[in-house]
Structure 1
Amino acid sequence: MTLKIAVCGGGISGLSLALVLKRFASPEALTLDIYEAGPVFTEIGAGITVWHRTRSIFASLGIEEALKNRVVSPPFTLRKSDTKEPFGFHTMDIPHGSMALPRIDMIKLLVDSLQIDSTPWLHVHFRKRLESYEQDATGVTLRFADGSTSRADVLVGADGIGSHTRKTMYADIAGRVAEKRPDEAAAILQGAQPTWTGTYAYRTLLDAEELRAVSPENVLLSGGYMWCGNGQHVISYPISKKWINFLVFDTIPGGLGKPLAGPSVSLASKDELTDLYKDWEDDLCVAMENIGDLSKWAISHIRGLPQYNDERVALCGDSAHAMSTHFGAGAGQAIDDSYILGRILAHPSITADNIAEALKTYDAIRRPIAGDVLERSLRIGFLYEFHPEHVPTGTDLEKVRAGDRAELRKIADELQDIWRFHWEWMPERDWERAQVMLEEWL
């Protein structure tokens, strides 16, 4: 019997899932419909970093070589920059290196690899925004904003931080307890909402040649940097020969978990940045004077969802665990989700009758890992900014702020240890664990 799969969202997680199914599923065993809200496949944001974990998945999908042809591999250096006498204090030891590329290039790589026109079991539907769904004993009915409906055996919500899949899932979960435990139902609904991290991120791309023309020795031109300082930080790294990804952060004291005042995304001016960072090192200030279009993002996350699945429905990528940008792991975790979920859906023992049990395996494997990465990302951002609650025990903050290298080394060592996640545990080991669970549960 053919398993009918619906994926809402044609971003990195949705397309990655399709690619995993193409690689591992029998073509006769399934059909896949991707419903994308926009008129084309696209991706919001500038650049992403690809680590060894993600490259190991791409290798298993047979597309690692194509990735290598599209990216550059910058080193990353920690730099004490909130002074006119800046200095680097640690170069990250990154086994296997890291890669960076524009997000839209990642989308193109996935789309090209899918070869949609020659994949008869894969169907793409544009301008289809999910509004809600309903489950019953035999499947899921999807309802779209244009009034149309469709039917599937399983629904995967890969529809981002504002996910209507997640909203419907948690409305259903809350509804089951609302009559007897209304306070618990309200807490369930509240817990499924995005919350603010307390940080704003200014995002833009720097033209490397234009920067070189005005500042030929600028340190930004020489690799990837984490520009660290008291209460603020900047991340920069090349994503092509032409472009440098440039992210500038402004953390509001006590803002974590507080209501967001104002829009989540807005246009910004370079004057905001130059004012925020006027006391920082000159190379950074020069770069800020020469930026073009700039957007200001209030960074929110989905923190601590109690489950990523409900019967025949599963959440994938940002819909399950949108996270802060400090760890370079959001896209990687979306691909990790897709790899484990895709391998489960492609397993020959999975049918429309046992899919709800199978999705429990996905939740058991992926939720603890993604939750851990979310917390790592949040802490790393605070470490870059020397926040008292997050620096290692025994760190002398006054000495850190004064530039004491021994104290800064404590922070660098802590950061290095957190970053190890990217290369010390591969998703293939998670899939091995998932297979054992499937055998036990099915």
Structure 2
Amino acid sequence: MRTLADLFTDDVRAADERDRVMDPVVDRAKWAAILGAPRRSSETPRTRPVDDTAELVAMVSTASAAAAASRSMSSGAVPKPPRRGHKRADWVNISVAVVAVIAVAAAAAFGAVQVANSTPAASALQSLAADEAELANAEQAIALRVETIEDQIADVRGEADAAVPALAAVEGYVPDRERDAALAAVDTLIARIDAIELPTLAEPYSRPDFDASELSNVAAQIDVVRLRAETLPALTEGTQKAQSEVAAAREEFLAKIGRLGATFPAAAEAEVAANIEAEPVFAEAVIAGAEDVIRVQRAGKIGAAAMLAYPGLVDALREDHARAIEEILSAEEPPAEDPGTWTPGDPVAPTDPEPTDREPTDPEPTDPEPTDPDPDPEPIDPEPIDPEPTNPPELPGDGTLLPGVPSP
């Protein structure tokens, strides 16, 4: 059960200025209102409820007296309200209230000034100032974009100029077909860059001198600003078109240069295979130089410096290979003997042949003169020769022939 003091808290003192009176009956009533009535057993005696009738009658009497006092204010007697407990001042809220009052006062003063000065010409002048600011910002943005495009064109032209000596330097070190295509791409790039037309910008806007107190003058200048603002979309479109053309021309050029750069690794491998006797450091330098061309071009550049450095690396590889071949050949040849040296004990002392300045001459062939045979040779009659008689060899006494003697 809740008491009247809990329901009517107007006359309750502040919690920091009074000590709470412990009343078990009141505490039990509060807890019962929050948690519900406690269970009662047959052994627990019933407690008598608190009777606040007298207090309620006193509060009603006080309220009636205060109402009667307000009705009798004409008599000059001002009733004092019932005294309440003292409360501390909240300085934070007071400060905020003071600042809010000052802000409201300033806004009211500014509004009063604006209302006092709000003539038609003044209002039109404010509109003109807003249009002029918007026009100046838009024209400045277009001018900055035009400057950016001009810088891009200069950069692309510089890349084209740097590509010409680089492509001339790699002649003979890369396939001629791709190199010739890259040279043609340089000419195409320069022609496309020269054909780009940038929008022509007028002089920056500035307000002319005129009588701003006349509404007609301000209105005429507003028309001038708005007519000039109507040209901004065409200028913006022109700059976007020019920027796109520059980007497209450079991308096409980089694509053709990239095809040439793609041939460098294969060309480097061929050079290393053809100059196998060179030191490994020279072969590694050639391979690294070819990879540098690819790496730079993949980063969006033409790689002119890398292409210029590549021929020197290949020349160094070739020279070292030639040196190694010469050393191999000189090691394989036998040492030449010195004909002018002779040591005692040699069977024959070497003699230097006397140099002769005469040129060897081949003997001229001589044809024998033909001889005519005697047309009428004299016949020769052979004389008959009679054989001389030969005495037979003497036979031994026994009548046998000697060996080797024919029988008569």
Which protein is richer in helix relative to its size? 2
Same fold (TM over 0.5): no
The two structures have a TM-score, normalised by structure 2, of 0.19
User: Highest Rg: 1 or 2?
Assistant: 2
Which protein is richer in strand relative to its size? 1
**Higher relative contact order by CA 8 Å / sep ≥ 6: 1 or 2?**
1
